[in-house]
Chain A
Amino acid sequence: MIPDITIYGEFSVLDLLRVLLILFAAIIIAKGITINLKRVLKDRISKDHLEIINKVVYWGIFLIAILTVLPVFGVNLSGLLVAGGIAGIVLGIASQSVVGNLIAGLFLVIERPMKIGQSVNIAGTAGVVEDIRIISTTIRTFEGLYVRIPNEKVFTTDITNYVEHVARRLEYRVGIQYSDDADKAIEIIHRLYEEHPLTLRNPAPDLFVDNLGDNAVEIVVRIWVPSTEWYGVKKELLWKIKTALEEQGIEIAFPQRTVWFANEPQKRELEGAEDPSMH
């Protein structure tokens, strides 16, 4: 029969068909996996990195297929396995941090705690995410500095994302004098909140006297704004509160001490002494 016909040594037509079938199946599987990977990851990582991952996966599957068919050609893989094992140990020890960063990078792609363009704080470094690569993440700080953070550090540290949620709360503490009317101050601040277009109607603001401090009656002002407008409103609103209060005769308190004497100080009248305030 045709399948039993030998081509070279003990290598028959059947063996050739088996090899071709395995390689063909490997190509189909590799293609299928890379197409699905592209579909799943195309919105999550950049095109360049996706191409690299796809190539690694494709040729990795093909390499496994080659190793599977080599024994058919009479190649003994046991020696290769031992050498490969030793090489793997050496490479593994040498590249453990790189592999750690790579795996952390893949988990960051899956978990997506942040996206490119978002303002974040990673382990005390605050800025805008410029790129999320396989090994590292780059941040442009608010001072314009370039900071590269290994993905292992990004993955294992606290990440504060300032804009992931659509709304964010702004808080001020405004201290007024004890002699001023706190209800009136709260009413003035509330009116400012109503008039400002970027302070949200809902959730409603929270304005109340929070503390009777040493120097002032402290009013806490908590207002929600869209996350994208938070910084602009923060810069603008506090001074508006101050000027609006002062226009209505409410002073912002500054540190002061009222001194009470235990005994009235003794007054001495000097005969013929001039009034010192006249000079």
Chain B
Amino acid sequence: MFGHYTIPLEISAAGISLTIEREGGGFRYRSACNGATVEKLLLTRAGAVLINPVEPLHRPKELTTTLLIELEKTLVVEPATTKTVFLTFPIEIGVFITTNENVEVLDIFTLLPQKFTLYGDPRSGMICKYWQSKISATVPTTVNPLLEGVIQLRINNTTSDWVNITRAVFNAYTMKIYYNERLVAMRATMKIQLRNLAETTFTDEPLEQGMAKSLELYTARKLQVPLAKFVMEAGL
């Protein structure tokens, strides 16, 4: 599914159907996923299409730029130590049309149900995209790359206390997503500064050799990137 294609194009896989067919002087784009259909007319003579996983914050609506991953079990981290665990995150699939150096987002869809949550209190908190994840000590091997990706989370407890972690919150616009035909992955770090305060950042490095880097939506949309880290002020 992921990769570069030329148009016209027809793809069907795992509940997703995508066609770009010639029509008149241009092309007609059609996609169907989970009962939702999108149709667009492309006024172009030629072009290439890129399909890759994108930051999971566009469906069903762009309400937030933060992703909250709730851990299935509480992690208890030793003082002054660095440990690595593997979590999962939800996948949204972006379809881009590219001509020369210009890129435009055609469509974004996902096979997963969506949920939001509040991080903090209703007054000063923030709405986050919600995801619940199992915790693994190694890279999970049973994840479907069209549904879930893997985050390698390096937890650095800089305090002199044992710290309980029940969730991790990330700024989705600083995600660095890499993919190959069987895995979608990211590397992230959580630096715990106090018992209830931590910073999360992403590392721009693939989890495995040979992985391709996803075209990030802020690049495609020419958006200004916010701060490269997220401060979890409302607790761990």
Contacts and interface: CB of A to CB of B under 8 A. Distances in A.
21 contacts: A166-B118, A166-B125, A167-B118, A167-B125, A167-B127, A195-B113, A197-B113, A197-B114, A197-B116, A198-B116, A200-B127, A201-B70, A201-B115, A201-B117, A201-B130, A202-B117, A202-B119, A202-B130, A203-B122, A226-B127, A229-B63
A182 to B, nearest CB: 26
Contacts of B113: 195, 197
Interface in A182-199: 195, 197-198
A224 interface: yes
A165 B63 contact: no
Interface in A44-93: none
A200 B123 contact: no
B60 A224 contact: no
B126 interface: yes
A168 interface: yes
B60 A198 contact: yes
Shortest Cβ-Cβ A-B pairs, 5 listed: A201-B117, A197-B114, A167-B122, A202-B117, A165-B122
Contacts of B61: 198, 229
Interface string B118-157: 1100110111001000000000000000000000000000
A177 interface: no
A128 B61 CA distance: 22
A228 interface: yes
Nearest to A204: B117
Contacts of B123: 165-166
A168 B127 CA distance: 11
A226 B116 contact: yes
A197 B122 contact: no
Contacts of A201: 70, 115-117, 130
A165 B125 CA distance: 8
Contacts of A229: 61, 63
A111 B93 CA distance: 44
Interface string B86-129: 00000000000000000000000000011111110011011100
Interface of B: 60-61, 63, 70, 113-119, 122-123, 125-127, 130
A201 B70 CA distance: 11
B60 A200 contact: no
A4 B141 CA distance: 96
Contacts of B122: 165-168, 203, 224
Interface residues of A, number: 15
B60 A197 contact: yes
B37 to A, nearest CB: 18
B117 A200 contact: yes
Interface string A221-235: 000101011000000
A166 B117 contact: no
Given A197-B60, A202-B117, A229-B61, 11 more contacts: A166-B123, A166-B125, A168-B122, A198-B61, A198-B116, A200-B116, A200-B117, A201-B116, A202-B118, A202-B119, A224-B118
A254 B122 CA distance: 36
Contacts of B115: 197, 201
Nearest to B167: A202
A193 to B, nearest CB: 10
A195 B60 CA distance: 13
Contacts of A165: 122-123
A228 B122 CA distance: 13
A5 B47 CA distance: 85
A200 B70 CA distance: 14
A202 B113 CA distance: 17
B118 A200 contact: yes
Q: In this complex, which of B60, B61, B63, B127 has the most chain A Cβ atoms within 10 angstroms of its Cβ?
A: B127
Interface in A163-186: 165-168
Contact of B126 (A166, A168, A195, A198): A166
B169 to A, nearest CB: 12
A54 B116 CA distance: 45
Contacts of B63: 226, 228-229
A166 B130 CA distance: 16
B130 to A, nearest CB: 5
A200 B125 CA distance: 13
A228 B62 CA distance: 11
Contacts of A166: 118, 122-123, 125-127
A125 B236 CA distance: 41
